A and B are shown apart, each in its own frame.
Chain A
Amino acid sequence: MVRGARSLRISPAGLRGIVGHGLTATHVLDFAAAFGTFLEPGGPVVLGRDPRVSSLMIREGVAGALLATGHDVVDLGIVSTPVIQHAMRRMDAAGGVSIGASHNPAEWNALKFLARGGRYLSSAESEELLDIYHLRKFRFRSWDALGRRREDETAIDAYLDALAAEFDLGALRRFRVLIDCTNGTSGLILRRMIERFGMNFILINEALEGRTFVHEPSTTKKMAELQLAPLVRTVGADAGFLFDIDSDRVAFADEQGEAASEEMVIVVIADELLERGPGRIVLTNLSTTALLDEVAAAHGGTVMRLPVGRQAVVDAMTAIPADRIAVAGEGTGAVMLPQFPYVYDGIASMLTILARMARRGEPLSELLAGYPSYTILKGKIPVRTHFVPELFDELERRYPEARIDRRDGLRLDWDGRWAHVRVSQTEPVVRVLCEQRGPAPRRLFDEIMDLVRSYSS
C-alpha cells in the first residue's frame, strides 16, 4: 500500500475523492453516464446534494449525463440521503444519486447510487455499473429522446410526514435536545421539525456551509466530547446529538455532559426496537460491540455479523424477510431502521433514542448506566498490503485458542472479549479493535498493535 496516494476511489460503493485532486468533472460525467446507461427507463432519477460547493459542480454534471441518457431528473436541492430515498419511493423513481461526502472533510466529495425503491445497489448491480463505466460505451439518446429536469422542494416535508407517522412526536416534544448540525443537511430538516411539530430542539452550527465546516464532520465519541458534551449541561438539555454532513450518522451525549461511545447508538436503538418487535434479528458488522449480543439475547433476539461496510448489510437484507429484522447498522453511529429500509438515517436514530428515553422514563445517563460495561480500544497502523495475508496468519498462530472468523480480515473471539484486525476500505491502514466486558483489554490490544506494527511500512 502506498501511503496517502489514494485520493480517488472508484468502487462498488460509488465514487469518492478529493475534488480537483483525484475526483474530477470527467469522472463525474463518465460515472453518471454509466449509471444512466445502467438504469432501466421508467420513472425519474432523483438527485440531492449536501451543502459543499463542489456538490453543485457534481450536480450539474450528473444532471447533464442523466438527461443525455434519456432520464427525467428531479432535483431536490440540498437534502440528506434518507430524504432522497424517501422521495424515490414516493415518486417510484428509477434511480437516485446522492452527492456528498458524509463524514469526510470539506475537500472531499462522493456520489452514491441508489436503485428503485431507494435501496443501495447490490454487489452484482454495482459490479455491472463498474463494467459499464470502464467500457465507456454509454447509451446516449438522440436529441428528441432526452430527459427533462424539474425541481421539487416538497421532499423534506413529505419525509417528515413519514417520520411523524412512525414516531409519537408529541411524546418526544417534552425533551429539550441540543443538536450540533455541523453545518450539514440536518439543520434544514430539524429546523422544519421545530416549525411543524413544535419540537424542543436547540440547534447549533445550523448554517449550511460550503467551503469549511465549523469542525470535522465526524461522529466519533471524541468529537462528541469536544464539540457537544460540554454544552449539553450548559443549556440544561436532556440529551445532545451531533450529526455528520448528510445526517446519516449520529453521536450523542447525556444530560450530565458525558459523551456516549459511538457503539451505544445501535445498542440503544436495538434495545428499543427489539422490545417493540416484531423483528428479532440485529444485523451488524464484525467490528461492532459485543454488548449488542447481550442486549439482543435479553429480548430473545440474535445478532448476525457481517463484513464491515454498507454493501454487506445491503446484500444480507435482500436475503432476509423485512419483518424479521429489528435493526441493521454499525458501531459508527450509522443505523438503518426497518421502517425506513436501506437507509442509514441519523435523524430516525435520534428519534428512536428519544423514544427509548420516553419509554423508560429515566434520564439518559441512568439509561446508559443500566447497560453492562464494555470497553473497546481502536487503533490504526499503515502497513504494506503485500504482507497482510502473512500478518493474519501470524495472528492466528499466536492465538490458537481463539475462535476465528476470516470473512473480513481476521476476527478472534474469546469468552468476554474479542479482537478484529482488518484492512480499511477508506484509508490506507490496518484497523485494530479490541473489546472486553468490563475493563479495557489493554494488554491484548498492545500485543496485537505491536505485532501489526512489525508489518508497518
Chain B
Amino acid sequence: MSRVHPLKISVAGIRGVVGDYLTPNLACAFAQAFGTYVGPGPVVVARDTRASGEMLVHAVACGLLASGCEVIKLGIVPTPTAQIYVADIRAAGGIAVTASHNPPEYNALKLFNSEGLFFNRYERAELIDLYHQSEFRQALNEDMRRVVLDAETAPERHFARILKQIDVEKIRRRRFRVALDAVNGAGSRMSVRFLRDILGCELHAIHADPSQPFPREPEPLPESLGELSGLVLRARADAGFAQDPDGDRLAVAGETGRVLDNDDVLALAVDCVLRKQKGPVVVNLTTTSAVEDIAARHGCPVYRAPVGEANVVERMRAVRAVIGGEGGNGGIIFPAVHLCRDSYTGMALILERMAETGETLNTLAAALPRYWRRSGKCPFEHGKLGLLMQALEAALPGARIDRTDGLKLMLPEGWIHVRASNTEPLLRISAEAKSREEADRLYALAASLC
C-alpha cells in the first residue's frame, strides 16, 4: 500500500491536495476549531499566491466569524510578514493559507498564536483534539464580529522591525547589484520594494508577478535555481536571492552564480549575528557542525532541536537564543526581528555583512568551516526506522547518541542522522564529515542498512 495520502490533519495543522481532499468545508471547520481555541478576538488571515488561496481564505474567514472572531484579511503577504503583524497588533491569533514549498496543487493552513509564533506541541495537541471533538464555539448574531481588510500596513511593519536591527545606510551606500527570483510568490512585490527602494540595490528581478503560476520547483534548492544563476552572471550581480512561495525560506547565490549550500547560508547568518551580539544558538539536528565551530569562536552555546520550524522556535524561545534556524531548507530565524523563518531578515543580514567587510559572498562563504555533507531518502515503511536505528547503533558502537528526532550518531570524524520526515512518507538520511570521503562512507553505511 502506498503511504502517500493526499490529506494530512495533524498537530502541524492541515495540509492536502485541493479538490476532493482539502475542501473548503474542512478548512472552515478547522478554522472554527482554531477560533474556538484562541477565543473571540481579532485573527489575522494571510495567503500566498496559490490559485486555491482565495477560495480557502473565504472558507477560513467563515469558520473564524462563526466562532466569534474578528477577521483581519491581509491578502497576499509572506508568512513572516503575517506573523509579525499578529504580534504587532496583539491579535488573538493568525492563519496563513500556504503550503510553503509544496507543489501548486497543495495548500495548507499554518497556525499562529497571539505572539505570531507557532503553538508549542502541547497547545497543538489541544487544538487538534478540539477539532476532532467538533464542539466549536457557535457565536450568535449579536456577538459576531466583522471582516477588516488591511492590504497596506503589513509589509511596512515587517520592514520597520528589520531596519531597527541592521545598518541600512551602510547597505545603501554600496548600491549592491542584486538578482532576485521571487517564484511569483507572496513576497513578489514586497521583495522588489525591500531590495530596490529600501536597501537601495540595483535590482534584477525575475518571477516577481504574484498573478502568475510558480515558474519552477517552489522549494529554493540549488538544483532548481539555474535561472537565477544565469541572471547573476548576466547582470554581474553581487548576490542572488531566491524565495519560496510564502517568503520564509531563502536561497543565496554568490557573485559567480553558484548557489550556496543552505547550511552555509545559515552558518554565515549565525556568524553575522554573533559578531554583534553574544548568546545561545539553536539549530535542528541535521544542521551543519560549522555552526558549533562558529559559535565556539564567539564563546556561545549551541542547542539542537528536532527538525521542524516549530520545534526550533520552541527551543529558541526557551533558551533565549539570539539566532537560529534550519540548515538544509534555508530557514534563518533572527528573534530580534521575530521568532520565525524570514527570507527578508536573511537578505538584510547577508548584505549588511558584505557591506561591513567589503568582501564578496564567495569569499565570505569560503571562510566558513569546511564540511562535506551527503543526504538522501528512502521510502518509509512502518517499523523500518526502528530497525535502521538498531542496525546503525550496532555498526557504530563508539558513537555518541542523540535520540530526540530519530537517531543521530556522532563520531570524531563526523555524524549520521536518520529520521522520519514530518511531511512525507520518507526516511531521511544525512551525514556530514570533515572530508568528502568520510562523508560518503558514513552516508553509504546508513544507506546500506536502510
Binding site for B on A (CB under 8 A): 18-21, 24-26, 28-30, 33, 52-54, 56-58, 60-61, 63-65, 67-68, 106-109, 138, 140-144, 146-149, 210-212
Contact = CB atoms under 8 A, between A and B. Distances in A.
Contacts of B54: 67, 146, 148-149
B62 A60 contact: yes
B20 A140 contact: yes
B144 interface: yes
Given A140-B19, A143-B50, A148-B54, A28 B141 contact: no
Contact of B23 (A18, A52, A54, A140): A140
A107 B143 CA distance: 10
Given A33-B23, A33-B24, A64-B27, A24 B138 contact: yes
A211 B68 CA distance: 13
B146 to A, nearest CB: 6
Contact of A20 (B23, B66, B71): B66
A142 B105 contact: yes
Given A19-B139, A60-B65, A210-B144, 6 more contacts: A26-B32, A57-B62, A63-B58, A64-B56, A67-B55, A67-B58
Given A146-B52, A149-B58, A25 B140 contact: no
Nearest to A24: B138
Given A60-B58, A60-B147, A64-B56, A29 B141 contact: no
Contacts of A61: 24, 28, 58-59, 62-63, 66
B61 interface: yes
Interface of B: 17-20, 23-25, 27-29, 32, 50-52, 54-63, 65-66, 71, 104-105, 107, 136, 138-142, 144-147
B28 A26 contact: yes
Among B24, B61, B138, max chain A CB count under 10 A is at B24
Given A53-B141, A64-B55, A142 B62 contact: no
Nearest to B58: A64
Contacts of B29: 25-26, 29
A63 B62 CA distance: 9
A141 B19 contact: yes
A307 to B, nearest CB: 31
Contacts of A57: 61-62, 65-66, 144
B20 to A, nearest CB: 6
A19 B140 contact: yes
A56 B145 CA distance: 9
Contacts of B61: 57, 60, 64
A20 B138 contact: yes
A205 to B, nearest CB: 18
A172 to B, nearest CB: 36
B100 to A, nearest CB: 15
A99 to B, nearest CB: 12
15 contacts: A20-B141, A25-B29, A26-B32, A29-B25, A29-B28, A29-B62, A60-B62, A61-B66, A67-B24, A67-B54, A107-B140, A140-B19, A142-B18, A147-B55, A210-B146
Contact of B59 (A29, A106, A109): A29
A450 to B, nearest CB: 38
A238 B147 CA distance: 41
B40 to A, nearest CB: 12
A64 B65 CA distance: 14
Contacts of A143: 17-19, 50-52, 104-105, 107
Which of the listed residues B25, B32, B51, B141 has the most CB atoms from chain A within 10 Å of its own CB?
B141
A58 to B, nearest CB: 7
A109 B65 CA distance: 14
A211 to B, nearest CB: 5
Contacts of A140: 18-20, 23-24
Contacts of A107: 140-142
Nearest to B61: A60
Contacts of B24: 29, 33, 61, 64-65, 67-68, 140
A58 B144 CA distance: 12
